[in-house]
Amino acid sequence: MSDNFYVEPLFSNFLASEILDIDDDKITKYIKTVEPGIPLDLNQPEIHEVVDHVHNLIPRFMKLYGLGSKAKPRITTCWANRSNAAEPLKPHLHGTHWISVVYYPEADEESPDLILKNPITNVMEYAVPYQYHEYATWYNSGRIKVSPKKGLMIAFPAWLEHWVDPECPSTSNRYSLALNITLNHISDQYIEDIYHPNNKLAEMYGIVNTLRDESPYK
Ligand SMILES: [Fe+2]
């Protein structure tokens, strides 16, 4: 093969991760008092360390995407999840937002993995079935797993479909905070009316999903 042959990744997504040294117990205690999925006040003192940290990361994310000051990224939504929440976290994405962040103030070995799906998986798996793979590369991976750890913060583009491994033992101590960073063209009113984590549309989807779960043809 010619020495001039050169291969580089094309059209990338990203996964950022960091272990934060903050008061996790305070956050976990607070999460236990709130309903999963209900929007939290970003000024709530118990979560301000996470919110501040994410806010301070925004310039780094802007650099990744070559964004100028007109983009005005801001944290728009924040909610809590816990492993014993009534509904398992089914595949979804955070449409309209730019970057999604998850922080785990509490997690253990039993905690289920977060799965992130490569957006081209549906077409790629048809052309390159995983049964042919002998080892994983950046080019053949359809999904990646993130194992929650106490203090772990991750961030990824909000358009990546993700879910929690359904094989999750319900006894695991897994608490998380989710946040979205959003750009200027998406108004707070739009998020309030259309993309609320717990709005009526989400309820409607929940009903449709339940109906589909009951279908023998799904
Ligand atoms: Fe999510």
pLDDT digits 0-9 by tens, 82-102: 876 555 678 989 989 999 999
Distance 173 CA to ligand 1 centre (A): 18
pLDDT digits 0-9 by tens, 177-200: 999 999 999 999 998 887 665 555
CATH hierarchy code of domain 16-109+150-161+170-208: 2.60.120.620
What is the pLDDT, as a whole number, of residue 88? Answer: 64
Distance 94 CA to ligand 1 centre (A): 6
Residues 6-9: contacts with CB under 8 Å, at least 24 apart:
9/138, 9/139
User: In the chain, what are the domain boundaries?
Assistant: 16-109+150-161+170-208
Distance 204 CA to ligand 1 centre (A): 17
- pTM exceeds 0.75: yes
What is the pLDDT, as a whole number, of residue 112? Answer: 86
pLDDT along the chain (218 residues), means of 10: 86 96 97 91 97 98 98 96 70 92 93 92 92 94 94 97 78 89 95 68 56 63
Distance 7 CA to ligand 1 centre (A): 33
The percent of residues in the chain predicted with pLDDT above 90, rounded, is: 67
DSSP-assigned letters across all residues of the chain: --TT------S----EEEE--S-HHHHHHHHTTS-TTPPPPTT-GGGHHHHHHHHHHHHHHHHHTT--GGG--EEEEEEEEETT-SS---SB--TT-SEEEEEEEE--TTPPPEEEE-TTHHHHHHHS-GGG-SS--TTT-SEEEE---TTEEEEEETTS-EEE-TT--TT---EEEEEEEE-TTS-HHHHHHT--TTSHHHHHHHHHHHHHHH-TT-
Distance 95 CA to ligand 1 centre (A): 10
Distance 3 CA to ligand 1 centre (A): 44
